[in-house]
Amino acid sequence: MKFVQLTTEADVPTTATQWSSGPPLARLIQVAFRAGCRTVVELAAAECAEWDEEFQALFADISDRLQGTPVFLLFPDGAVINENDVLKAASTAEGILGYAIVRPSPLESVAEALITARPSSSTHFITCQSRHSMKLPGDKPLTLDVRGLPFMQQDRIVTSCAHASLWMATRLVVGAYPEWKNCEVVTYNRAAEALQYQHTPHRYSRKLPTMGLFPEEIMLVLEREGYDPVPYRFSSESEKARADHTVYRWVESGIPVILLMDLEEGGHSVVVCGHTFDPDAWWPGARRDYFPSLASDDLWYSSSLWAVQYLVLDDNYGPALAMTRGSLRMRSSVAIVPLPKAAKIYLLPEDAESIVAGILFSEGIDGWLKALLGQGNGNWVEWLRLALREQRDKLVLRTFLVRSKEVVDAVRQTPSYAAQTKQAVRKLKLPEKVWLAEISIPSIYGDKLKLGEALLDPRIPIKLMRTGFEGLLWLHLPGLVWSPEQLGPDPLAVGREGPAPLLPR
Distance CA 306, CA 244 (A): 11
pLDDT of residue 212: 80
Distance CA 223, CA 162 (A): 15
Boundaries of every domain in the chain: 1-153, 155-343, 349-501
Q: Does pLDDT of 187 surpass 90?
A: no
Number of H helices, E strands in the chain: 18, 23
Average pLDDT of the chain to the nearest whole number: 85
Distance CA 460, CA 465 (A): 8
Cβ–Cβ under 8 Å, residues 133 and 72: no
Type and span of the H or E element at 412? helix 404-412
pLDDT band at 199; cut points 50, 70, 90: very low
* Least confidently predicted of 28-42, 87-101, 240-254: 87-101
Distance CA 394, CA 305 (A): 13
pLDDT of residue 202: 39
Q: Does pLDDT of 204 surpass 60?
A: no
The residues facing 230 across adjacent strands are 337
Q: Does pLDDT of 206 surpass 60?
A: no
| Half-sphere exposure in the Cβ direction for 334 (13 Å, CA) | 17
CATH superfamily of 155-343: Cysteine proteinases (3.90.70.10)
| Half-sphere exposure in the Cβ direction for 59 (13 Å, CA) | 21
- Model pLDDT for residues 385-415, shown as the tens digit of each residue: 888 877 666 899 999 999 999 999 999 999 9
pLDDT of residue 69: 78
Segment 342-361 shows an average pLDDT of 94
With residues binned 3-state (H G I as helix, E B as strand, rest as coil), the percentages for the chain, rounded to 5, are 35, 25, 40
* Least confidently predicted of 102-106, 196-200, 238-242, 256-260: 196-200
Higher pLDDT, 83 or 452: 452
Q: Does pLDDT of 378 surpass 70?
A: no
Type and span of the H or E element at 462? none
- Model pLDDT for residues 470-480, shown as the tens digit of each residue: 889 999 999 99
Q: Does pLDDT of 355 surpass 50?
A: yes
Q: Does pLDDT of 465 surpass 70?
A: yes
- Least Cα distance to 128 among 268, 275, 246, 30 occurs for 275
Distance CA 101, CA 333 (A): 32
Cβ–Cβ under 8 Å, residues 100 and 73: yes
The CB density around residue 364, as the number of other CB atoms within 10 Å, is: 12
- Model pLDDT for residues 94-113, shown as the tens digit of each residue: 788 999 988 887 778 898 89
- Model pLDDT for residues 40-93, shown as the tens digit of each residue: 999 877 666 555 666 656 666 666 667 777 888 999 988 887 888 887 888 776
Type and span of the H or E element at 329? helix 325-331
Residue 102: phi and psi, rounded to 5, are -110, 130
- Model pLDDT for residues 277-304, shown as the tens digit of each residue: 888 878 777 876 787 666 666 788 899 9
